[in-house]
Chains A and B, each alone.
Chain A
Amino acid sequence: MKTDVTIPDERMVLTCTGVTKTYRTRGKQIPVLRGINLAIPKGTLTMITGKSGAGKTTLLSILGGLDRPDTGRLAFMGNPMESLTARESALLRRGRIGFVFQNFNLIDSWTAIENAEAGLIHLRIAADEKRRLAADLLAGLGLASRLDSFPDELSVGEEQRVAIVRTLVAQPSLVLADEPTGSVDDETGDEIIRRLMAHTREHGGAVIVTTHGPFPLGTADAVFRLADGVLLPL
């Protein structure tokens, strides 16, 4: 008789159970995550706080399929992730898991529209159609005249909007935001939060935000603190 059958919970975008991760450097073992348990429901914003070096980025990497846990189980939309190959993880991320970064991480050699449509890599549609989808969304954020501008020609706020469009244009089921407001002014930070919340409300997507600094905690549906490799609810 099977005893390890897991019944997928359709309400959960992501679940992780007993995830551990230890880095080995110069013969030393540095445990970063020690048995992380987390369940992210659809349409929610989850916040994870912690000091710099607490392992927030490592946790996001594992949750987004960019890195593998040493032990533990992960499931995205009910499908196990821990056994996926690097290629399968990459294919899973396309369009379904989006990332937002502290410094936006636009590709410098690409124009605003090219950066934005990069989020549609998973769609097998004509290039013109991809461009139209990205351009409509950029125009909706007031960047209609900046489509062909390169990142170094954009203001910080404009860069942020392009980065948000790149992430949200594909309407991903899960958005992982790593210190998204860490390097922007308050006004821009508020704009980022508004956009992320709108994504959860309008499209039912889940958002996980990590931060080590001030963040409007009241906007989150759940808040955790990562310390000493352990995730504690606040």
Chain B
Amino acid sequence: MHRFQYVFREISRRKARTSVAIAGYTLAVAMCSLVLAIFYASKESGDNVLANTGTHFIAFVPARVADAAISVFRDDTISCFLTGGIIARTMPGDVLESVKAIPSITDAAPFLMFRVKSLAPVNAVIPNNIDYEHDSESLMLASRCERCLRNYLMMKSEEPMMLASRDGTSLPATPADSLTVGGFDPANKEAVGTTCCAETDVISGRFLHPGDKGMLLVEEAYARAMGLKSGDSIKVAGRAFNVAGIVNPGIRPAKADVYMTYTEAEVMARAHMTQGPPTRIMTAILVQVRHARRQEEAIQAVRKLIPDVVVSSYACYRPAAKVIGINEKTAWILVTVLQLGAILFAVKSQTASLVERRRDIGILKVLGWTNGAIAGLIFTEATFLAFVGSLIGCVGAIILLLLLPKDLMGILSLNSIPAIAYVMIGIVCCLSMLGGIIAGIFPVLHATRMLPLEALRRL
């Protein structure tokens, strides 16, 4: 009798054992596929968020002491270019396209920031008798910056004021002498939104539109300090602007007191420069990276491209990339554990099958069947059972995924329905078949060590 005939005869003869063995593989594959599909959908939802976490930075070149001595402005309306509170140099405009061309970078946008003097003609001074340590609103502002505190107190006071510093010394009263202006491209949602200001940051009023003229956004804390609200008119560098909206961009690398379109900011800067560069003026490049894992690569590429560049970024891309890695490892650990479970089940089933057929194997050995032929018999049976079980498991998994209740998404906080990943199901199926072969190893070793006549006589 041919090996396959023998295997099929055995399988069909011992229906209960065959059914249990096949059911084991079916359950293992179906559960594996189902759990993995849900896990991957969950992982994908999480990874999508994590992949975009901290995937942005700003690149700028700080001004050196020698640069600071050379004024590029023809008057004192604009005191300096800066980025994030640091006096900065302008960068050549053409470098933006080179940054955009870096493979790990999704998008890049120009950013122009400068400090403007003389926001408001204030002649008040801070009184030395204000105990701002016990004024909660003052205290809050004091914790942000001394300049805001001064401005705030000047706006409130009708009396000449002196500012009392915390160490008891008196500071000279100074007018609200400056504010920082940030110019960005409102049309660029990707690079600008994560590093500078986004539409979702609007608290009142509206966001800037690309074609806006004479409109600006005011940062919330600054607006509160200055008592500004949407619709107000203010002058910046001698030019009147309407407050389009109040924004709270949170802690962003490119944060300013007021924001206007990049075009208007550039026009304003050029109007006060002795000689503007032929290309666009920008003090920083706002960069959006493709994936948290590529952040480091992108930063290195920008550093290589722009000499003396300083990159300002959140480090949260590092834990994000780490969590993505942990998710992937978890997936593989899950697959391994489930498959090991299936293999252990199969080993038990195959061993039980072998014990039942101990006598048959003894007879076959006596008849001259080699250990190799008997091993082939056991492997054929194990693989066949695994194949049939896995095939049914695959179909079962697909049906289960099709029937999966849609409200499961809400329960599991998934962004998408667990997809029928045919490749993954195929891999699970192959792993199960491999498991079937592995499961056959122990019984094969057992069978090859069996002394035939002893096996026959004990029964």
Residues of A bordering B, CB below 8 Å: 57, 60-61, 64, 66-67, 86-87, 90-95, 99, 101-103, 105-110, 114, 117-119, 121-122, 127, 166, 178
Instruction: Using known A-B contacts A67-B451, A90-B365, determine if residue A110 contacts B1 with beta carbons closer than 8 Å.
Output: yes
Is the beta-carbon distance between A61 and B454 smaller than 8 angstroms?
A: yes
**A60–B226 Cα gap in the complex (Å)?**
108
**A35–B359 Cα gap in the complex (Å)?**
30
From B2, which residue of chain A is reached at the shortest CB distance? A127
Is the beta-carbon distance between A109 and B363 smaller than 8 angstroms?
A: no
Is the beta-carbon distance between B367 and A109 smaller than 8 angstroms?
A: no
Interface of B, secondary structure class, is helix
- 15 A-B pairs within 8 Å (CB atoms) are namely A60-B453, A66-B452, A87-B372, A90-B369, A90-B370, A93-B367, A95-B368, A103-B459, A105-B456, A106-B363, A108-B360, A109-B13, A109-B360, A110-B9, A178-B453
Instruction: Using known A-B contacts A67-B451, A105-B456, A107-B360, determine if residue A86 contacts B9 with beta carbons closer than 8 Å.
Output: no
Q: Does B264 contact A (CB under 8 A)?
A: no
Q: Does B54 contact A (CB under 8 A)?
A: no
Sorted from nearest, which 5 A-B pairs have the closest CB atoms? Answer: A94-B368, A93-B368, A90-B370, A61-B453, A109-B13
**A84–B365 Cα gap in the complex (Å)?**
15
Q: Does B371 contact A (CB under 8 A)?
A: yes
- Chain A residues in 8 Å Cβ range of B1: 110, 114, 117-118
Interchain nearest-CB distance for B365 vs A (Å):
7
Is the beta-carbon distance between A57 and B453 smaller than 8 angstroms?
A: yes
From B457, which residue of chain A is reached at the shortest CB distance? A57
Q: Does B366 contact A (CB under 8 A)?
A: yes
Q: Does B10 contact A (CB under 8 A)?
A: yes
Is the beta-carbon distance between A109 and B9 smaller than 8 angstroms?
A: yes
Interchain nearest-CB distance for A42 vs B (Å):
21
Q: Which interface class (under 10, 10 to 19, 20 to 34, 35 or more) fits B? A: 20 to 34
Interchain nearest-CB distance for A167 vs B (Å):
9
- Chain B residues in 8 Å Cβ range of A121: 367-369
- Given A90-B369, A94-B368, 17 additional A-B pairs, CB 8 A: A57-B454, A61-B453, A64-B366, A64-B453, A66-B452, A86-B448, A87-B370, A90-B370, A93-B367, A94-B367, A95-B368, A105-B363, A109-B9, A109-B10, A109-B13, A122-B368, A178-B457
From B448, which residue of chain A is reached at the shortest CB distance? A86
Is the beta-carbon distance between B365 and A66 smaller than 8 angstroms?
A: yes
**A137–B51 Cα gap in the complex (Å)?**
77
Chain B 422-459 near chain A by CB (<8 Å), digits 1 or 0: 00000000000000000000000000100111101101
Chain B 1-21 near chain A by CB (<8 Å), digits 1 or 0: 110001001100100000000
**A101–B363 Cα gap in the complex (Å)?**
10
Is the beta-carbon distance between A91 and B368 smaller than 8 angstroms?
A: yes
Is the beta-carbon distance between B367 and A118 smaller than 8 angstroms?
A: yes
From B12, which residue of chain A is reached at the shortest CB distance? A109
**A102–B453 Cα gap in the complex (Å)?**
11
- Chain A residues in 8 Å Cβ range of B371: 86-87, 90
**A101–B359 Cα gap in the complex (Å)?**
12
Q: Does B362 contact A (CB under 8 A)?
A: yes
Interchain nearest-CB distance for A117 vs B (Å):
8
Interchain nearest-CB distance for A63 vs B (Å):
11
- Chain A residues in 8 Å Cβ range of B9: 109-110
Is the beta-carbon distance between A99 and B370 smaller than 8 angstroms?
A: no
Interchain nearest-CB distance for A6 vs B (Å):
26
Interchain nearest-CB distance for B5 vs A (Å):
9
Instruction: Using known A-B contacts A57-B457, A114-B1, A178-B457, determine if residue A105 contacts B370 with beta carbons closer than 8 Å.
Output: no
Central interface residue in B13, B366, B372, B451, by most chain A CB within 10 Å: B366
Contact of A119 among B362, B367, B456 (CB under 8 A): B367
Interchain nearest-CB distance for B171 vs A (Å):
95
- Chain A residues in 8 Å Cβ range of B13: 109
**A122–B368 Cα gap in the complex (Å)?**
8
**A66–B366 Cα gap in the complex (Å)?**
7
**A121–B374 Cα gap in the complex (Å)?**
13
- Chain A residues in 8 Å Cβ range of B364: 107
Chain B 349-368 near chain A by CB (<8 Å), digits 1 or 0: 00000000001101111111
**A66–B453 Cα gap in the complex (Å)?**
8
**A91–B370 Cα gap in the complex (Å)?**
7
In the complex, which residues 26-50 of chain B have their Cβ closer than 8 Å to any Cβ of chain A?
none
Interchain nearest-CB distance for B387 vs A (Å):
21
Interchain nearest-CB distance for B133 vs A (Å):
88
Interchain nearest-CB distance for B291 vs A (Å):
56
